[in-house]
Amino acid sequence: MPSLLPFNAVPLTQITLAHGSISGTYALVGTFSASLELLSIVSTLDAAVILSFDGVNDHLTVPAGNSSPSIIVLPFKACRLTLPTPTVYVKQVAGVSAGSIYLSGFNALLQ
CATH of the domain at 51: 2.60.120.340
Would you say residue 100 lies in a domain?
A: yes
Q: What does DSSP assign to residue 19?
A: G
Would you say residue 26 lies in a domain?
A: yes
Would you say residue 2 lies in a domain?
A: no
Would you say residue 21 lies in a domain?
A: yes
Position 77 scores a pLDDT of 79
Amino acid, res. 79: C
Q: Is the pLDDT of residue 68 over 90?
A: no
Would you say residue 1 lies in a domain?
A: no
Would you say residue 67 lies in a domain?
A: yes
Would you say residue 16 lies in a domain?
A: yes
CB proximity list for 57: less than 8 A, separation 6 or greater? none
Task: Give the pLDDT confidence of 9-29 residue by residue, as tens digits.
Answer: 889 999 999 999 999 999 999
Report which of 18, 2, 12 is spatially closest to residue 98, judged by C-alpha positions.
18
* Burial of 37 from C-beta contacts in 10 A (0-12 / 13-18 / 19+): buried
17 neighbors 87 (Cβ within 8 angstroms): no
Q: How many CB atoms lie within 10 A of CB 43?
A: 25
Q: Is the pLDDT of residue 99 over 70?
A: yes
Q: How confident is the model at residue 5 (pLDDT cuts 50, 70, 90)?
A: low
CB proximity list for 52: less than 8 A, separation 6 or greater? 26, 58, 59, 60, 88, 89, 90, 91
Count up the domains in the chain and report the number: 1
Domain around 20: 7-110
Position 1 scores a pLDDT of 46
